[in-house]
Structure 1
Amino acid sequence: MLMTLIRLQRRHGRRVAPKDVAERLFQPPWMPVPVDPFIEGLKRFRVIAGLVTAVGVYTVVAGGFDFEEVIENLLTATLVLLFITPLSVGVLLLIWRRSAPIGTLRQPLLRSLRLLLYFVGSAVASFTLLLFAPRTGMFILLLGPVALWGLAFVACAAVRLNANFFGTAAVHRCLPPVLAAVTAWLTAVPDLVTGDLHGLGLTMGVVFILGAPVTVTALSLLEMHRLRRHLGVRLLGHPLASRA
């Protein structure tokens, strides 16, 4: 595996480390440039809180680190992304079309959808390999390094994508914080609804399960407030009128 990666690097003159591949694939030139250093700082904290939600901090607190449960949580979060992102954007499109045409948003929307599908496909493949590679006997010598490379790639991609949420900031700068908050809640709430508190008890379960999405929501609201106050960007305003 190592020799294969080295040959690929020599042949194409590009690095094949997970971080470099994630940067080339998920940091395209059409991503909007930062407009406010304070907002960029908020995004970093929001990314951390979102990753904590996806992993499930309570899996560590409630009696030990369960690797399979963490991977299952990540798979759940990935599938939530696949469904909730287009749905949320669709609702906002219905609102925006009342004030102006939305046909001009088609290209940035398709670009964002492409990034979303790339990420979901990579994540599902990597997490599935991580779950089943230990059970493949001698094949683990082949699948193990691939699965670990895939995990590192997905982690690097998630950090890059979470700030602008699959390039949706190119559509409307308020979309990333909104989608991050919605995804965080939909990832965490099912555990409360089903009563799956992982042995923490009601009070501690609520604190640890909802702590991350509450944090993501607070940071998202602060980010949107900053966008509205300093840049005039409003969530319900048409992207063309709110362009910054």
Structure 2
Amino acid sequence: MPPPPGEPSRVRQALRGVRNPFYAAQRTFRPSRPGRVEDPQVRKLQLWRTALGLLAWVGLMVTYNAVADAAGAKDVADERFQQSWYSVLMLVCTFPVVVGAFVTAARGGLRRVYLRRALRPLGAVAAIMASMGTSALAMAPELAGLRDAVGLPGKIAIGVLCLWAVGFALYGIGLSLVHVFRTADIHEVLPPVLAGVLVWEMALLDVITGAYPQVPAAARAVFTLGAPLTVTALSWWELRRLRHRHGLTVRAALGR
């Protein structure tokens, strides 16, 4: 019996994902719903928003002598990764609240449609959490007995799996922040709304935790408020472009 149409292609994609964690991350964290409006200008804006945020953060650290030597550079890199991971964790917590409110507010059959579309974004959330948890296999003291039990071949397999998971997770964190856990697969208006909520939550977290203690208060206030104000403006622009160019609005998405 001949294979169904498209099956060899799916098999090749699966094998490529097994070999290449970055390809697997693209397949997992980039929106792919058929018929989804994809505006090149919006996509460029999302990438620039992420890149400029990183450059502004690095500039702030360099300006106020957070990077004085190689050890300082490593500390800054570690801190930036930790902040990105905190952003993802905040996004994981915010995701069900915003998406749940969006689905609940939708009328008629739209609720079922959005719930069905939410499966892939939920899968992306599960994938990033699982990939980050994989490192425990190689490093957690509590699992030392398991590593000893599997012997050298098992330890090699665990090491390879963890290397793959690190590449997948690092790239996945970036894609998750750019594409806001592929919530465009639910509806195109959700990413700018969710991004706006997330960035204000992160600003509040910075204030509560006293982030950037080495930076003068005035510069710290400008930096802390600059990110949410900028992202809010960009989110508003994205929603405005979706409305004027593609006829997509929050009200229409809710069937109201």
Tell me the residue number matched to 1:114. 123
Q: Is contact 2:128–2:172 with CA below 8 Å preserved after alignment?
A: yes
SS in structure 1 of the partner of residue 128 of structure 2 = helix
Question: Is the counterpart of residue 96 in structure 1 residue 99 in structure 2?
Answer: no
- Asked if the contact 2:196/2:231 (under 8 Å) is kept, the reply is yes
> Does 1:173 pair with 2:182?
no
Once residues 199 and 224 of structure 1 are traced to their aligned partners in structure 2, the CA distance between those partners, rounded to angstroms, is 37
Q: CA deviation at 1:106?
A: 1.6
Q: How many Å separate the matches in 1 of 2:240 and 2:39?
A: 13
Deviation at 1:200, TM superposition (A): 0.6
Secondary structure, counterpart of 1:237 in structure 2: helix
The reply on whether 1:86 has 2:96 as its aligned counterpart is yes
Secondary structure in 2 aligned to 1:40? Answer: helix
Distance 1:60 1:81, change over 3 A: farther
153, 160, 167: which is aligned to 1:152? Answer: 167
| 1:96–1:102 Cα contact (<8 Å) kept | yes
Aligned CA distance change for structure 1 residues 195 and 90 (closer, same or farther; 3 Å): same
d(CA) in 1 for partners of 2:95, 2:81: 21
1:17 equivalent in structure 2: 20
Residues paired across the two proteins, number: 223
Q: CA deviation at 1:95?
A: 2.6
CA distance in 2 between partners of 1:94 and 1:61 (Å)? 46
* Maintained 8 Å contact 1:95/1:236: no
**Cα distance 1:49–1:86, how it changes in 2: closer, same or farther (>3 A)?**
farther
Deviation at 1:93, TM superposition (A): 2.5
Counterpart-to-counterpart distance in 1, 2:174 and 2:211:
28
What are structure 1's unaligned runs of at least 5 residues? 1-11
Q: Displacement, 1:125? A: 4.4
* C-alpha separation in 1, matches of 2:137 and 2:60: 24
RMSD of the alignment, in Å? 3.8
Taking the aligned partners of 2:247 and 2:210, their CA distance within structure 1 comes to: 42
User: Within the alignment, does 1:207 sit opposite 2:210 as a pair?
Assistant: no
Aligned residue for 1:186?
Answer: 201
**CA 1:26–1:191: 2 relative to 1, 3 Å:** closer
Counterpart of 1:40? Answer: 43
Alignment CA distance shift 1:124-1:72 (3 Å):
farther
Q: Percent identity?
A: 29
How far did residue 172 of structure 1 move?
Answer: 1.4
* Aligned mates of 1:96, 1:162 — CA distance in 2: 25
**Which one of the candidate residues 51, 74, 82 is aligned to 1:72?**
82
**Higher helix proportion (structure 1 or 2):** 2
CA contact (8 A) 1:174 1:224 kept: yes
Structure 2 residue runs of 5 or longer lacking an equivalent are: 1-13, 68-72, 145-154
Deviation at 1:212? Answer: 2.8
Q: Which has the larger radius of gyration?
A: 2
